[in-house]
Every structure is written in structure tokens, then in C-alpha cells.
Amino acid sequence: MPSEFDLIRRYFTRPAAHADLGVGDDAALFRVAAGMQLAVTTDTLVAGVHFFPDAAPRDLGWKTLAVNLSDLAAMGATPRWATLAISLPSVDEDWLAAFADGLFECATRYGIDLVGGDSTRGPLAMTVTALGEVPAGTAITRAGGLGGDDLWISGQPGLAALGLAILTGAEKQWPNDHSPLRALHRPVPRVELGVALRGAARAMLDVSDGLAGDLGHLCECSGRGAVLEAAALPLVALREAGADEALARRCLLSGGDDYELLFAAPPAARDDIAALARQLDVPLARIGHLVAEPAPILLCEADGRTTEITPAGFDHFATNG
Ligand code: ADP
Ligand code: MG
């Protein structure tokens, strides 16, 4: 049976490009470049809460890091360093090797170093802390949106929620499950987009708990209201995957696990943002606008009817599960 230190050496030790000292000492050492601020974020994935205990370890490794990179992206920060605290019920080296492969695949893709962590025995759970750099004063918070700003969303929010519905059997006999399941298992953090939006977006967050709920957070932090245009919502991929209109809307507005970027930007930035979408090959949909005064979020139908939408995002402590 390999020791804890053998396992760390074997599966979690790789050269760190941006650190003076990585895994293997009491703490990691790295330098923050002059004029930069550190952005720091932590996310935990717990078996049975965030993923099924039998989930593919390679996908889990990817997702554990990706969900944290999404938070850095949402600040406009460049990913640099990460730590991983992992709790394992037992040592399964095949599982660990696949998990590490997925994690380092994501780390390599986005240029982040794993510089430390902790490994313990316990219920299966992973916590990553990710650190990124952003030029001082340029981070994009949730708070800067102004009345009249356009609201934009990247990619295909809702697809992961559809994937979850398929997995749990809530939606049976699905004809086209590849893209929903991929969205659920392999979320793409919008790192390049987040960085490119510095100077263009006035407020931003990543959508992890449903568009309605997360837009509610942006509105609250910015002290604004919002109007969404139903006809502009990016529902195409959900329809292509076989969802009817009601299910597509429900997945988009109150699904979770999307890790797309939602941001507010002035109308004068429209051309630049459209150019960015082409350049980065990331779909960006302009889905509505902010209004100056705080107010409930309104959904405006093509025929002009409006309804209030309640920001019912996922809340761990508000449910019985
Ligand atoms: P300590 O007892 O001093 O906290 P540990 O035995 O927990 O040290 O860890 C030894 C080294 O391995 C440290 O550098 C720690 O950051 C690193 N480490 C432990 N677990 C992990 C992990 N899962 N991923 C990456 N690095 C890890
Ligand atoms: Mg330790």
C-alpha cells in the first residue's frame, strides 16, 4: 500500500511554472508581479451533493478545477496557482490516476500550477483554492452595472441542467444526450473571455446556480433592475438536444452548473463585444438590459407581455436535500 507521500508524489506533483516552490514543503512560495492584485476563490465538490459517487474520475478532476477557474474568469483574472484538498474514502490508484489526469488536463489548458494541498481519508470530496492575477483596479466585480447597460451571456446556459435531468432519469429516453452530458461533466471555464472583457464589461459573474438567480445577484450588487428579452435567450442548443420550449426555459433560467459568464456592458461596446465573440469563438447573446432602479427581474415576451421572474437559484441551505 503506497504511503500518503507516495500518492502525493505520484499523482499531484508536477513542475510549477509560476512558483518558486510547489508541492513538497510546508507551504508554496510564489511572487505576485508588481502592479497586480491577487484574486482568490474556493469551491468544494462533495460526492452525493455535487456529483454522483460513481462519476468518471477524469471528468471530476477536470470539473474540480474548472469550476474555480470560472470564478477567476468572472473577475477578469488570469489563473496562476491552485491548491487541492482531497478527502478519499480509500486509496484506489486507478481512480486517482484518472482524477489527476483530468485535473492536470484542465491545469495545462489554462496555465495554472497546482502548488499544494492536503490529502486525507474521509467521505469523497474535493476543495480547490485558485489564485489569479489581475492588474490592480481592473477586476470586474458584480457591482458596477448601470441602468441602460446591455446584458450578455456566453455559451449555452441550461445545457448542464438538461444533462442532469437526463442523468437522474427525470427526462427519459433522450434522443440526443451528448452535448447536455458533456456540458455537465466537462464545463468550459471562460477564462480568455473573462480576461478580454476587462475594460469592456462593467459588472460580471459566472452563472453557476441558474441565470435568474445569478442575474439577481448582479442586480442586487449593482443596485439595479433587469429586463430579459425572451426572444433573445440562447435556447438553440437546448432545442437541438430535444428540449421543448418549457423545459428549455426552465433549464436556462433556473438550472445550474453552467459556468458561463453573465455581464453588463454599455451599448457603445456592442461592436467590440461581437468582435470578441468571433475572435474567441465563444457565442455571446445580448439578452436584455439593466434598469437604473432596483426592481424585480422582468421577462419580456416577443408579443410585449412581461412577467416577473423569481430568482430561484440553488441554495444548499434552503432545500431539504
Ligand atoms: P503538512 O503536514 O506540512 O501540511 P502534508 O503532508 O499535508 O504537509 O503535504 C505535503 C506536501 O504535499 C505539501 O506541500 C502539500 O501542499 C502537498 N499536498 C498534499 N496533498 C496534496 C494534494 N492533494 N494535491 C497537491 N498537493 C498536495
Ligand atoms: Mg497538510
The enclosing H or E element of 12 equals helix 4-12
Indicate if the pLDDT at residue 183 is higher than 60. yes
Q: Which residue has the cell 492584485?
A: 37
CA 119 to centroid of ligand 1, rounded, Å: 7
Instruction: Please report, for the domain that includes residue 64, its CATH number.
Output: 3.30.1330.10
Q: Ligand 2 centre from 117 Cα, in Å?
A: 7
Give the orientation angle of helix 93-110 with respect to helix 4-12, to 10 degrees. Answer: 40
Whether residue 254 sits in one domain with residue 208? yes
Ligand 1: which of 9, 23, 114 to mutate, judged by most atoms within 8 Å of the beta carbon?
23
Write the DSSP assignment of 139-186 as a string of letters. Answer: ---SS---TT-EEEEES-TTHHHHHHHHHTTSS-S-S--HHHHHHHHS
Does residue 188 share a domain with residue 160?
A: yes
Does 31 reside within a domain? yes
Q: What share of the chain is helix, strand, coil (3-state, %, to 5)?
A: 35, 25, 40
85 and 22 within one domain: yes
If you average pLDDT over every residue of the chain, what do you get? 94
pLDDT confidence tier of residue 4, bands split at 50, 70 and 90: confident
Q: Are residues 126 and 182 in the same domain?
A: no
Regarding the beta carbon of 44 and ligand 1, being less than 6 Å apart is answered no
* Residue range 138-145: mean pLDDT, rounded: 98
pLDDT of residue 63: 98
Give the pLDDT band (50/70/90) at residue 168: confident
* Residue 208 alpha carbon to ligand 2 centre in Å: 29
Ligand 2 centroid, distance to 97 Cα (angstroms) = 20
Q: Is the pLDDT of residue 273 over 90?
A: yes
Number of domains in the chain: 2
Q: pTM of the predicted model, to two decimals?
A: 0.94
Domain that holds residue 293: 150-309
Q: Does 317 reside within a domain? A: no
Burial of 149 from C-beta contacts in 10 A (0-12 / 13-18 / 19+) = buried
CA of 192 to the centre of ligand 1 (A): 30
Q: Is residue 28 included in any domain, yes or no?
A: yes
pLDDT band, residue 52 (cuts 50/70/90): very high
- Site to probe by mutation for ligand 1, drawn from 91, 118, 126 as the one with most ligand atoms within 8 Å of Cβ, is 118
Among residues 21, 106, 28, 25, the alpha carbon closest in space to that of 63 is found at: 106
Q: Atom 27 (ligand 1): residue with closest C-alpha?
A: 117
Average pLDDT over residues 6-18: 94
Give the percent of the chain with pLDDT over 90.
89
- Using the mean position of ligand 1's atoms as its centre, give its distance from the Cα of residue 13 in Å: 10
What average pLDDT does this structure show over 242-271? 95
Question: What are the tens digits of pLDDT across the range 14-23?
Answer: 999 999 999 9
Q: What digits encode the pLDDT tens for the residues 80-129?
A: 999 999 999 999 999 999 999 999 999 999 999 999 999 999 999 999 99
d(CA 118, CA 23): 10
Write the single-letter amino acid at 272. Answer: D
Rg, Å, the chain Cα set: 20
Per the CB < 8 A criterion, the answer to whether 168 and 114 are in contact is no
- The whole-number pLDDT of residue 3 equals 86
Is 117 close to ligand 1, i.e. is its CB under 6 Å away?
yes
The span from the CA of 281 to the CA of 192, in Å, is 11
85 C-alpha to ligand 2 centroid (Å): 9
Inform me whether the pLDDT recorded for 321 exceeds 70.
Answer: no
Grid cell in block for residue 57: 474520475
pLDDT of res. 320: 37
Is the pLDDT at 172 greater than 70? The verdict is: no
214 shares a domain with 106 = no
pLDDT exceeds 80 at position 173: no
* 284-315: pLDDT as tens digits: 999 999 999 999 999 999 999 999 997 665 55
Task: Please report which confidence band the pLDDT of residue 67 belongs to, taking 50, 70 and 90 as the band edges.
Answer: very high
Q: Are 206 and 313 in contact (CB under 8 A)?
A: no
Best mutation site among 25, 113, 119, 120 for ligand 1 pocket (most ligand atoms within 8 Å of CB):
119
23 lines ligand 1 (CB under 6 A): yes
Task: Give, using CA atoms, the residue closest to atom 1 of ligand 1.
Answer: 26
Burial of residue 128 (CB within 10 Å: 0-12, 13-18, 19+) is buried
Nearest listed ligand to the Cα of residue 23: 1
Query: Do 158 and 121 lie in a common domain?
Result: no
Residue 212 has pLDDT above 50, yes or no: yes
* Euclidean distance between CA atoms 235 and 268, whole angstroms: 26
Q: Are residues 167 and 48 in the same domain?
A: no
What's residue 319's pLDDT? 42
